[in-house]
Amino acid sequence: MSETSPITTEQLRQWDKRHVWHPFTQMQEWERDEQIIIVKGEGCWLIDTDGKRYLDGVASMWTNVHGHCRRELNDALKEQVDRLEHSTLLGLASEQSIILAARLAEITPPGLDRFFYSDNGSTAMEVAVKMAYQYQVHKGRPERSRFITFRNAYHGDTLGAVSVGGIGIYHTTFKPLMFETLQAPSPYCYRCELGCSRDSCNMECVKALEELMEHNLGQVAGLVIEPLVQGAGGMIVQPAGFLKSIRDLCDRYGILMIADEVATGFGRTGEMFACNHEFVVPDIMAISKGIAAGYLPLAATVTGDNVYSAFLGPYSELKTFFHGHTFTGNPLACAVALRSLQLFKQDNLLAELQPKIAWLKTRLDYFMSMSHVGDVRQCGLAAGIELVEDKETGTPYPWEDRVGIRVCLEARKRGVFSRPLGNTIVIFPPLAISNSELEMLLNVLQESIRVVTE
């Protein structure tokens, strides 16, 4: 192969199948089918080797904010790479990570102004879990070693993050490797495990959670929650007031509240952070996906002085938080993240988002009238459309039928890339999506659902 001639699509396809093991993918099927290879991005569009364009309906796995190859972000990255590409935070400070932490402290919930950087959502959650437990140890309560989690929760794929997760199909295999948690009911109103219905339930699930706390008095270090919406569990939206009730319970039982804002952070719910909707300040918060606008891997575990100061002391007391990742606080990622925060202001992004969120709500009503749509759930510019075999009874399609995947394959033919969560179709576009692009996304998904289910 010569250095100058471009590599053909056919060659790329062969090498991909020969060498690249894709995440969450049955490779036997992947190797059998013809795959799309993306080479360019423009705004909300991804462009493949044949020049075919796909609307990025899931914001490149929930990360993209301002669109692809946004000039300001590209420039920030180029400027930074000519100054410093990377330098460690172990033993040295670095400019961009400092400025970013100071800027983030202005927008995170009040009091959350201590930033522990890492590279992805899973690491941010591992850090949160270890930090919460070590905090209890330093406070003289080592017996507070358990964590309360929710069914249908997703916090990442490393072992600590898997332990606090609650999605059977991803997590069951690894059970022997996981630590045990106390699982509370999922606030999944469409399929309430307590048999309640949303309008008249008085949040029985919160009462069940309180019983769990009561039964395990003095043994719980922290509670882990995805605020407002359980994302990977199927875009399961919590009833209003749920998050606030949990904050109150954590206070009452001396449990650290850990909010996983990895998916919800940076405007997705219509506020900068989901916790803001209910004026909740968690004790520890994990942020990642949207932080660097979908450009580079970056994450932070954020806390306040209460937790932070518990780790202070002479070295000999070994109160140090012995945890760290090599690429912590990478300057390229931080520079893009900083420019992204400016774009939020410059583009008036959160204000511009409100009419889109309102329009999405109205548009989603049409889906409810379809014969195989069981439930539609929306939180800001994120939504899930749950497809069912029988609408009357809510009987799900057998998972082996992979109705969600088939709908997304139809959407792909019509120029939209989407990725379902089981039989729930996901809407999670870049926040910068235009009105007409959003309309196209919804039209294509509706047509694709019709083709597959009717």
CB of 165 to ligand PLP, least distance (A): 9
Q: Which of 310, 273, 284 is nearest to 147 (CA)?
A: 284
- Whichever of 155 and 247 has its CB closer to ligand PLP, that residue is 155
Q: Does 229 bind ligand PLP (CB under 6 A)?
A: no
**Beta strand pairing call for 256-260 and 284-287:** parallel
For residue 433, state whether it binds ligand PLP (rule: CB under 6 A): no
Pair 422, 385: CB distance under 8 Å: no
Amino acid at site 145: S
Count, residues in the chain: 454
CA-closest candidate to residue 225, choices 244, 203, 202: 244
Taking the complex as a whole, how short is the minimal distance between the CB of residue 32 and ligand PLP, in angstroms? 26
Q: Which stretch binds ligand PLP (CB under 6 A): 152-160, 190-198, 433-441, 444-452?
A: 152-160
Return the number of the residue (233 or 404) whose C-beta is nearest ligand PLP: 233
347-379: burial string, b at 16+ Cβ within 10 Å, e else: bebbeebeebbeebeebbeebeebebbbbbbbb
Distance CA 162, CA 180 (A): 10
Count of residues touching ligand PLP (by CB under 6 A): 15
Query: Cβ neighbours of residue 450 under 8 Å, at least 6 residues apart?
Result: 370
Task: Tell me if 282 contacts ligand PLP by CB under 6 A.
Answer: no
SS3 string, 75-92, reads HHHHHHHCCCCCCCCCCC
Please report whether residue 225 would count as binding ligand PLP according to CB under 6 A: no
- The residue at minimum Cβ distance from ligand PLP is 121
Question: What is the smallest separation between the CB atom of 124 and ligand PLP, expressed in angstroms?
Answer: 7
Residue 384, interface with ligand PLP (CB under 6 A)? Answer: no
Selected from 56, 126, 226, 437, the binder of ligand PLP by CB under 6 A is 226
> Segment near ligand PLP (CB under 6 A), from 69-77, 151-159, 210-218, 388-396?
151-159
Name which of 138 and 289 has its Cβ closer to ligand PLP: 289
Q: Which CB, 121 or 282, lies closer to ligand PLP?
A: 121
- CA gap 399, 230 in Å, rounded: 20
List all residues 6 or more positions away from 6 whose beta carbon is below 8 Å from its beta carbon.
Answer: none
Q: Does 231 bind ligand PLP (CB under 6 A)?
A: yes
What DSSP line would sit under 240-255, residue for residue? TTHHHHHHHHHHHHT-
The reply to whether 386 sits near ligand PLP by the rule CB under 6 A is no
Stretch that binds ligand PLP, among 94-102, 207-215, 226-234, 251-259 (CB under 6 A): 226-234
The SS3 assignment for 41 reads: strand
Is position 233 an interface residue for ligand PLP (rule: CB under 6 A)? no
Regarding 262 and contact with ligand PLP (CB under 6 A), the answer is yes
Find the binder of ligand PLP among 43, 109, 121, 430 (CB under 6 A): 121
Task: Say if residues 66 and 345 touch (Cβ distance below 8 Å).
Answer: no
Stretch that binds ligand PLP, among 149-157, 167-175, 276-284, 395-403 (CB under 6 A): 149-157
Binding site for ligand PLP (CB under 6 A): 120-122, 125, 154-156, 226, 231-232, 260, 262-263, 288-289
